[in-house]
Amino acid sequence: MNSDAELIYNFLSAPGPVPDRADVIIALGTYDLRVADYAAEVYLSGKAPLLICSGGLGKLTGSLFTRPEAELFAERCHALGVPQEKLVIEPASTNTGENFRFSRKLLSSRGIHPATGIAVSKPYMAKRAWATGTMQWPEVQWSVMTQPLTLEDYGADDRTIALMVGDLQRLRVYAEKGFQAPVEVPDEIWAAYERLAAAGYDRYVIR
């Protein structure tokens, strides 16, 4: 197991405080359908009365899926016991910022204005999910929940490591662009990033 990858994964996936109850859950679309399974679990545990499945076809899923991520997520959630009337499908977004903005607009059109929310994402996207939601849907106080998996359990292949390296870089770049709230990243995490980027795990970084 690559120790630098573990260091970055553990930082990015570190959970923050989660309320006993929130107004809404948003499942952030991805190629990893385990996120949908966990979003259903979070809903069925009673964390919120409404579950948004958000995602169209992004850079990674455009070549994998023929239907929007949100539709596939909603089907899995419904199959796992989430009532159809408690699911909101947002099938147009292609990135994390749009996940939040488009879902915000969709709920607003229905007269729903949440004050608290739980975002469900891939483990290594937890920090970026919080930072993005906080900036793009600021009326909501966001928490993030992810499956409690180690990097080894999640799957430490080369693509996953490269995606984590890209996500870490986005914490800095997107905050500078005003897309995300700032997240403090310790020097040791940036040092691990530099070593992995130099080792060739930089194909998803922003040039």
Cβ pair 22, 39 in contact under 8 A: no
Distance CA 207, CA 203 (A): 9
Can you identify the CATH homologous superfamily of domain 3-144+151-198? HUPs (3.40.50.620)
Phi and psi for 90 in degrees, rounded to 5?
-115, 100
pLDDT band at 49 (very low <50, low <70, confident <90, very high): very high
Mean pLDDT across the stretch 159-169?
96
207: CB partners within 8 A, 6+ apart: none
pTM for the model:
0.94
Pairing of strands 51-54, 87-90: parallel
Please tell me the predicted confidence (pLDDT) of residue 57. Answer: 80
pLDDT at 93 over 80: yes
At 74, the amino acid letter reads A
